[in-house]
Amino acid sequence: MTLVSTDWLANNLKKVKILDASWHMPSAGRNAQNEFNEAHIDGAQFFDLDKSSDEKSPLPHMLPDKDKWANIVSNFGISNNDRIVIYDNSDVLSSCRCWYMFIYFGHDINKVLILDGGLKKWQLEKKKLTTKKYEINKTNYQVNELNFLVKNINQIEKNITTKEFNLIDARGANRFKGQEPEPRTGLRSGNIKNSKNIPFGECINKSNNTFKNINELKKIFDSLNNNKKKETVFTCGSGVTACVLAVANFIINGTKPVIYDGSWAEYGIVNKK
């Protein structure tokens, strides 16, 4: 069970730890923290994606070191055995990035859950929201970093020749094809050689932000004609929407998520020609 329904969460609010992992592109002109303060699901805490990443890196949203992650999660009052439900109110389904981070740092994948449809569906159903905040008892969260779930630029470049794994880009088709500029300055347009494209939005029902059913997702992934015996790695602009595809892939076949963390924010600069 990767996805939980809004009804399921409404009936289990006290049995899980809840995180609002909303994050917005700078161009959206929205402040996720302010929106959380104005209204959130009862019991939720705000997960700040920017502050929870490696703030020393020049690249956006790079994974933090394990000590920082342990401190972040401990401050949420989350223990290693807790079931966690993550949601967002974001056009880029940023809850999926938070989901990936928990799995990368060793939380039981079966205990990291995403609210299907997020806050958008919750609000469409007129379910209760609150402004309450609760006192948190800090825990001593233990990290078990799974380094094999992330790829670096050297592995990506090597794979162009060796073709050891499938690489799927979650950016929109026009960005992937280099037909429109990147939203971040200083990046060239285009894609990583031999990569293929599934715009992350193709996996989502626009009406309520839920994931499409497993048969629809299979059809989308099968259209790429990738070698299913090979590992599949996901990339995007900055490592956020790649995780949407990783969730979809997990729904299909239960494969743990593998992400090129630097994504085009790194590759588009380093390989500038």
Active site residues: 236
Token digits of residue 82: 């807790």
- Residue 53 CA to residue 62 CA, distance in Å, equals 6
> 3-state SS string over 8-28?
HHHHCHHHCEEEECCCCCHHH
Whose tokens are 């923290």? That residue is 33
Q: How far apart are the first and last CA of the chain?
A: 44
Token digits of residue 28: 């959206």
Whose tokens are 């050689």? That residue is 193
Work out the angle between the directed axes of helices 242-253 and 214-222 (0-180°, nearest 10).
110
Name residue 235's beta-bridge partners.
169
Contact between 269 and 186 under an 8 Å Cβ cutoff? The reply is yes
Token digits of residue 117: 């449809």
Contact between 191 and 242 under an 8 Å Cβ cutoff? The reply is no
Using alpha carbons, select from 70, 23, 15, 79 the residue that is nearest to residue 47: 23
| Sheet with 112-115, side-by-side order of all strands | 3-4, 112-115, 84-87, 17-20, 44-46
Instruction: Round the CA-based radius of gyration of the chain to a whole number and report it.
Output: 18
